[in-house]
Structure 1
Amino acid sequence: MEIRFLSDVEYAVSGLAVNEILKQRYCVFDLESTGIHHETEHITQVGAVIIENGIVQKSQTFNSYVQPLKPIPEAVERFTGISNTNVERAPRFNEVYSRFIEFIKVL
């Protein structure tokens, strides 16, 4: 694998290969946020699944809203389906991150 830095904020990854990926056990995760600019936006949801032998392990999933440090813009609420009401009582990122780390320890 090679990581080539294009600038202070951009990079390119090449030569990444996973041998026999359909026989592996791994985690796929997704983050939702308040917007697209990573320097100024905040995570609003973390979701993840464990995949083993090419099959999603439905009993091994992770999903949590995250209370962001700023309001979710109306356009993002419409796009993601996540509203400010959903996240107003959600745990902060550090708590969700700790739970996510525990979730992936099964790998």
Structure 2
Amino acid sequence: MTEAQFQSKVIKFLNDHHIYHVKVWGGGYQRAGIPDILACVNGHFVGIELKTEVGRTSKLQDYNISRIRESKGTAIVLRPSGFEKFKEWIRGEMELRREQESILS
């Protein structure tokens, strides 16, 4: 599976779960090394760097992932082999949100 094919699956999953996200398109007008997808999951900032099974992060991507984590956000390198675990985590966060809302209403 190519990174572009995997990206389509991840974005479809996020859309299906109504999760706010932005696909970052690298270019000359933005800072390099930003994760591929920026999302808000249950009120938390999540940076998602997409890679194939053999793809490697650059030093700049590693730096940005580290900075996000230092700022108490979540930053992950997501590969196809970890997609099911990622989906479980998202579903768990969405369920937690529903439970929180039912308590507060």
Q: Same fold (TM over 0.5)?
A: no
* TM-score, with length taken from structure 1: 0.30
Which has the larger share of strand? 1
Higher relative contact order (CA 8 A, sep 6+): 2
Structure exhibiting the larger radius of gyration computed from Cα positions: 1
* TM-score, with length taken from structure 2: 0.30
